[in-house]
Amino acid sequence: MRISNLASEVGLTAKTIRYYEEIGLLEEPERLANGYRDYAPDAVGKLRFVRDAQAAGLTLAEVGEILGMKSEGRSTCSHTSALLNKHLSDMDEQIARLQSARAELAALVARSDALDPSGCTDPDRCQVIALDLPVDGKVYGGSRVPVTAPDGRKDSHMSSTIDITVTGMTCEGCAGKVRSALVATDGISAADIDVASGRVTVHADGTVDAGELEFAIDEAVNQAGYSLA
C-alpha cells in the first residue's frame, strides 16, 4: 500500500506517518523497486490505534509503551487502564483549579456589580480587585452585605453574601476543597476564602431560602472535611 493511500485510509498526513516511523511507532516498510514505500495491510489498524490513543489523551511515548508490550506478547490492558486513570486524575485536578479560578473571578464580578465607581479614589489601585480597600456598604470578610432590590426594598432572596469561619484549613489546597464543595452547592455562586483567618465569604445567588442555605453550607463544609467555628 502506498503512503498516500494509507494516509487517506487512516485520516493522517503522509508527514505524520513518516514521523511515526522515525520514532518507532510504525515499522519502516519495504520499498518497491522504484523506491516507494510499500506498507503492509496491518499498518492501517496500528495507525488507527495510535490516532485513537492520542484522542484519548495518551502521549506518543505512552502509546509506544503499549505497542512495545504488544510486540513482546505481553498483556496491555492493566497498563493502559493505569495510564488512563492517571490522565483522568490529572484532568480532575485541572478542572478543580479551573473551578477555583472561576469562583474567584465570579466573586470579583459580584463585587464590581455592588460597588459605586465614584468611590474608587485610590490613585494606584482599582477597588474591584484591591479587596483590602474599604468600601461603603460592602465589607469582604466582615459582615453580611446588604442587598437592595431595584425599588429600594431589602430582598433576602436576591444575591447576597454570608460570612462564616471554617476551622482546620492550613493551606491553599484546603481552601480549594472547601471552595469546590461550596460552589457545587445549590444557591452558591462563589466563595472568597482567607486561609490564615479561616474566614469565608459565601456568595449566594438568591435561589435558595436563607435557612436552607445555612444548613447546606454546613453540610458542604463537613463534606470537604472541615467544620464551622
pLDDT, tens only, 166-194 = 998 888 888 888 988 898 888 888 889 98
Q: pLDDT grade, residue 131 (50/70/90)?
A: low
Q: What is the pLDDT of residue 195?
A: 86
pLDDT digits (tens, 9 = 90+) for 106-130: 878 887 887 888 888 888 888 788 7
pLDDT bracket for residue 151 (50, 70, 90): very low
| CATH code for residues 118-228 | 3.30.70.100
Q: Is the pLDDT of residue 217 over 50?
A: yes
**Average model confidence (pLDDT) across the chain:** 82
- pLDDT band for position 43 (cuts 50, 70, 90): very high
Quick count: other Cβ atoms within 10 Å of Cβ 147? 17
Q: Which residue has the higher pLDDT, 123 or 209?
A: 123
How many other CB atoms are found less than 10 A from the CB of residue 95?
Answer: 11
Give the pLDDT of residue 133.
59
132 — pLDDT class (breaks 50, 70, 90): low
Which range, 31-45, 108-122, 156-170, has the best average confidence (pLDDT)?
A: 31-45
Q: What residue ranges do the domains of the chain occupy?
A: 3-74, 118-228
What is the third-level CATH fold of 3-74?
Multidrug-efflux Transporter Regulator; Chain: A; Domain 2 (1.10.1660)
